[in-house]
Structure 1
Amino acid sequence: MKEETNQTKGSNKDFSSKFPHTYAILLAIVIIGAALSYVIPAGEYDRVEVDDRVEVVSDSYHAVEQSPVSLMDLFMAIPNGLMEASSIVFYIFLIGGAFGVIRSTGAIEAIIQKVMRNVGNNEVLLIPVVMFIFSVLGFTTGMSEEAIIFVPIGIMLAVALGYDAMVGTAMVTLGAASGFIGGMFNPFTVGVAHGIAELPIFSGWGFRTVVYIIVLAAGILYVMRYAKKVKNDPTKSLVYNEGQEGQLNFTDADMEKFELSKRHIVIVVLFALTIAINVFGIFQYDWFLTELAANFFVVGIIIGFVGGLKLNDIFDSFIDGMKIVVYGAIIVGFARAILVVLESGLIIDTIIYSMSSVLDLVPNSLTAVGMLIVQVFINFFIPSGSGQAMTTMPVMVPISDLQEIPRQVAVLAYQYGDAITNSIIPTSASLMGVLAVAGIPYIKWVKFIWKLTLIWLVIAAIALVVATLIHLQ
């Protein structure tokens, strides 16, 4: 049984490993960008400061002297990119460290397991309640890879109630994905993108909330429909054969049980209070990444002591939390290096001019949909949300200015293009990790998820059209 499970895990990993590493892709783009500085004509737009932000002046593009990127400049692009994106990089590290401390107390696991056990007595509520809980974590903490540790719990509960491993995996991961798509207070995607677009952080949250509710409702109904089919006839399960052959993982040994204590409740309240304080500070005092990171750092230390950890244990957990986000944090610097090369070669405005000329042929209400399609394509190669923001937003923001589309809409196009396909692309580390833990073959997961992915994309496209028509700010 274990050997077959390992084979399943290996097949998922092998499938993913056929694609180039995200860092390799970004480095290749940096090199290509440097090479293009010798080919693409250099040019610039005039820029002016409007309401404390820099905007591109329409019809001001003009040619300038060619400025090809030297070999030394190419080598320096990565460290320069890391330095230019340092505020975001260290923000991600501090948030990850604080979350690591919270996780080490067992509070998150305890409260989720408590809720799931209680809801398990009423199976009708199981899927919507569990998906809602994880969606909250999705739009507040940007839960992605972290969902992996909860998959065994979801699988065991779902199987015990007559469903299958697909239902257990889906209600955890798609719940988190729904919140990630909504992204109202996600610091890793919307927060980063707003910083680049020079918009108030987490602005437009009301519109995002409406779309989030629709996305979550669609996900819940989709999973419930499949669960009902499996409940009525277990042979309809997409992983029925894997279950019969023992390839799926849903034993009690796969998870550590946590009993919910008063201390855990206090920790969760402190965490929720910190989020509320940050949201208040953002809207009342214009707090940005530095203030938010400082608050999470402080609450991480406080929660560590409340959770009964010693000082050394707190910082060990803090470091463990930062290790988890290293991949996403450093990738921001690599992505920024692309912009460093394009800017030093004076060709980024030429690229913007060319893309804007193409989008001129499209009605304004559909331009944002075109941006969405571009972001979906890029997400296959750069599945990191913050990395993709650093790569694409510097290009999309000027295009939105030239097309007279609100920058908020450009952020929405990036946000949805990044988040929705994370649940299906094989280059997503979190998805492949989830499937490895569950023992679900990637092809079976694609068969399950592809229709919902299309539904979510249609919802996003409609939302973008509406946001453009109402001139969302």
Structure 2
Amino acid sequence: MSNIKEKSSTDTLKKRLKVPHVYVILLTVVAICAILTYIVPAGQYEMMESASGRTVVNPDSFQYIENTPVGLMDFLKAVPDGMVETASIIFFIFMVGGAFAVVEATGAIEAGIGKITMKMRGKERTIIPIIVIVFSLGGAVFGMAEETLPFIPIMVTLAIALGFDSLTGIGMVLAGAGAGFAGAFMNPFTVGVAQGIAELPLFSGMGYRIVGYVTMVTLVTVFLYRYAGRVKANPQLSSMYEVDINRDDVLDLDSLKELTTSRKLVLMTVVGTICLLIFGVINYGWYIQEIAALFMGMAIVAALAGRLGFNGFAENLLNGFANLAGGALVVGFARAILVVLTKGHILDTILYSSSNLLLQLPSAVSAVGMYVFQCLLNFIVPSGSGQAAVSIPILAPLSDLVGVTRQTAVLAYQFGDGISNIFTPTSGYFMAGLALAKIPWQKWARWILPLILLQYLTAGILVFIAHSINYGPF
């Protein structure tokens, strides 16, 4: 009888401690930001064109302006406005998800991953560091972020087939690329832009950045390797266990589909598409629109090669769209935060007040303070180049005044911008990745938080050391 009471009280406690839905969390943050527009004075910086031709903030131009508080109607319009501003990302998620639903319907991915799984028996975990390093190099060298999305459904299916879980699968991709992005040694979209604005030699200080890169990648690899081993030994330890065993794309290793000629053609189409994606991104600067078009083409060719027929193509494409609707639309909810801060003209005020606070601190504390500031700023301005454009013009001259090298200020920006990209629900591509993997943000957040906190602490130490060694050239 007492056991029944204990179980009942435990269930009641779990219900009370239930994490709110991500839509509720984001709407709450939007509401708080709307209230702040009535409290925080409105202000703005003027924009100017830098020597390199980029549009950046003029650090000496801040002025307070008449308050523009966000009313009820503007608050309610923030989400629709956010949907409009992020429409390309939202439809990109639909396109990638729909395309892979078509590919999965051919049975090619199941047959191909089945072959890999059989060959990896007994040495499954050795694939983790390989995949993490590959994706981390993508993040470190050319800022791989949205480009990770097509790989997520494949890696989730592979991880589950190898005896791990969907968290391991998406972790190899997102955490791997994220480690490279945070510890980037030559990412043109973060390091390149920030150094250009700070008037530093392009990609200078690479030696120390490589140390940061290796450190971040090592943390991710060890975290995933240990976790995957525990889940392999006891699958029920995974918070995604119930979801994973009920997935449509789980492989039954006792009845694998045959890798027929048509399925080989489908797999060749997928591999060819990914090669084209990498080639187009590096050589022609392809972004969301071009990549979405590429995957639409992949879906059409895969349907023909896999003999799905025209109706089969359309039906599976639509199923893929439907399965991702909730996750795709969360991107618009996240963007609503920035919409409210911008409409209320308090984002620049927050920047100005933060920079004034840093002026009052000792130089060693200021260096770490810049890092903390960038970490917080990334929750509301998740774009790497966008964050550089609004913060580096302020922090670069500020670093001269407080005795911190500009190179250290750029490093603080780099770490602050990169780490939370795979944690904050305001990060569009990250939320898109969770949607593709069918993983709720709440489960991901609880799982990844220890790694994120460790990365934050490690990066803070690296910034402090950079200041101590007068990391330069200046």
Which residue of structure 2 aligns with residue 303 of structure 1? 302
The question of whether the paired residues in 1 share the 8 Å contact of 2:176 and 2:220 is answered with no
One-letter code aligned to 2:130: F
2:3 is matched with which residue?
A: none
Same amino acid, percent of matched pairs: 27
2:132 is aligned with 1:141:
no
TM-score, normalised with respect to structure 2: 0.66
Q: Which amino acid aligns with 1:28?
A: T
Between the aligned partners of 2:376 and 2:305, the Cα distance in structure 1 is 46
Q: Which moved more, 1:104-113 or 1:59-68?
A: 104-113
Q: Which amino acid aligns with 2:20?
A: P
Over the aligned positions, Cα root-mean-square deviation in angstroms equals 5.2
User: Is contact 1:130-1:172 (8 Å) kept?
Assistant: no
Secondary structure at the aligned position of 2:39 is classed as coil
Counterpart for residue 127 of structure 1: 125
Where 1:101 maps in the other structure, the secondary structure is helix
Q: Aligned residue for 1:439?
A: none
**What is the 5 A alignment of 1:4-19?**
18-19=18-19
Which deviations, in whole Å up to 9, do the C-alpha atoms of 1:174-195 show, x marking residues without a partner? 43454342466xxxxx99999x
Give the secondary-structure state (helix, strand or coil) at the position aligned to 1:18.
Answer: coil
Distance in 2, Cα, partners of 1:221 & 1:108 = 28
Letter of the structure 2 residue corresponding to residue 374 of structure 1? L
Is 1:62 equivalent to 2:63 in the alignment? yes
For the residues of structure 2 that align with 1:284 and 1:414, how far apart are their CA atoms?
A: 25
Unmatched 5+ stretches in structure 2? 1-6, 137-143, 182-186, 197-201, 397-405, 426-430
User: Which range moves more in the overlay, 29-38 or 135-144?
Assistant: 135-144
Taking the aligned partners of 1:302 and 1:241, their CA distance within structure 2 comes to 39
| Shift, 1:212, TM fit | 6.9
1:348 Cα deviation after fit? 1.7
Residue 394 of structure 2 corresponds to 402
Deviations 1:302-339 (A, max 9, x none): 12222222122222222222334333432222222222
CA contact (8 A) 2:165 2:244 kept: no
Q: Which residue of 2 aligns with 1:415?
A: 418
Partner SS, residue 69 of structure 2:
coil
- 5+ unaligned residues in a row in structure 1: which ranges? 1-6, 156-166, 185-189, 379-386, 423-427, 437-441
Structure 1 equivalent of residue 275 of structure 2: 276
User: Could you say if the C-alpha distance between residues 24 and 221 of structure 1 is closer, same or farther in structure 2, counting changes exceeding 3 Å?
Assistant: closer
Classify 1:56/1:171 alpha carbon distance in 2 versus 1 (closer, same or farther; 3 Å): closer
Equivalent residue number for residue 153 of structure 1 = 161
Change (3 A) 1:98 1:64: same
After superposition, the C-alpha distances for 1:408-453 in whole angstroms (9 at most, x for unaligned) are 974653332232699xxxxx9969x9999xxxxx8xx96xx87755
Distance across 1 between alignment mates of 2:294 and 2:301: 11
In the superposition, relative to structure 1, how do residues 120 and 214 fare at CA in structure 2: closer, same or farther (>3 Å)?
Answer: farther
For residues 173-188 of structure 1, what are the structure 2 equivalents within 5 Å?
174-182=171-179
Q: Distance in 2 between matches of 1:302 and 1:147?
A: 22
- What residue is the counterpart of 1:344 in the other structure? 343
Deviation (angstroms), 1:77: 2.0
State the Cα distance separating 1:21 from its structure 2 match.
1.7
- Structure 1 distance, partners of 2:434, 2:172, is 14
CA shift, 1:41, in A, is 0.9
SS in 1 for 2:372: helix
Cα shift at 1:403 = 0.9
Measure the CA separation in 1 of the matches of 2:288 and 2:438.
Answer: 30
Q: 1:401 to 1:293 in 2, by over 3 A?
A: farther
Question: What's the TM-score once normalised by structure 1's chain length?
Answer: 0.66
Letter in 2 for 1:129: I
* Change beyond 3 A, Cα 1:109–1:217: farther
Q: Deviations over 1:265-318 (max 9, x none)?
A: 433333233233233333333333222222222122212222222122222222
